[in-house]
């Protein structure tokens, strides 16, 4: 299947972006590629090739109308996702109770291939690096307790354009989460 490489994400709130920028400033010595504040997001449906962008946007509009905003808290910043061979710096926390079901509904509504993960880890990628960069940092450990809170109140279909300097994201459509919490 040909098409654009797209994914579904919840854009980070201003408060979360500011917390990530403050962390970045305090850890500016790290040899990593920091995610631009406007690109910070929580991935709900991972990238897939999509030829029907308009249909996916309509599905997201419907999903947004039935979902209340999420209140989230990130409690830790560490290397991830594999502690033995990390490739990013991320903030993690406990996902709101309604988020795993929302992920399953989004996956079904968008027609993305594959199955959603059985468990959902709330995570916000704030930097990326390769194994060479990690070795250059030495045997560095990163396990910082944080208390970042914010409201995720919109959903977006992003196009991911792969470049040698890293992925570039472009918003294809965005909708406000307007449903009610139950």
Residues tagged active-site: 41, 123
Task: Give yes or no for a contact between 20 and 40, defined as CB atoms under 8 angstroms apart.
Answer: yes
From the number of C-beta atoms within 10 Å of its C-beta (0-12, 13-18, 19+), residue 126 rates as buried
Sheet holding 4-11, edge to edge: 41-50, 4-11, 154-161, 168-176
Task: Give yes or no for a contact between 71 and 151, defined as CB atoms under 8 angstroms apart.
Answer: yes
DSSP 81: S
Distance of CA 119 to the CA centre of its chain: 15
């Amino acid at each position: 299947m040909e098409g654009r490489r797209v994914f579904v994400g919840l854009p980070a709130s201003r408060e979360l972006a500011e917390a990530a920028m403050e962390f970045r400033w305090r850890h500016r010595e790290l040899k990593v590629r920091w995610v631009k504040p406007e690109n910070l997001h929580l991935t709900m449906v991972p990238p897939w090739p999509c030829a029907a962008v308009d249909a996916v946007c309509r599905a997201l509009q419907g999903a947004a109308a039935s979902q209340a905003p999420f209140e989230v808290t990130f409690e830790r910043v560490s290397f991830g996702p594999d502690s033995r061979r990390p490739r990013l710096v991320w903030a993690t926390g406990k996902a709101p109770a309604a988020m795993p079901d929302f992920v399953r509904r989004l996956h079904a509504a968008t027609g993305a291939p594959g199955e959603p993960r059985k468990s959902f880890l709330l995570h916000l990628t704030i930097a990326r690096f390769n194994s060479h960069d990690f070795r250059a940092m030495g045997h560095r450990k990163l396990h910082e307790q944080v208390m970042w809170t914010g409201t995720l109140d919109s959903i977006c279909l992003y196009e991911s354009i792969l470049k040698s300097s890293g992925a570039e994201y472009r918003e294809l459509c965005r909708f406000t989460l307007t449903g009610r919490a139950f």
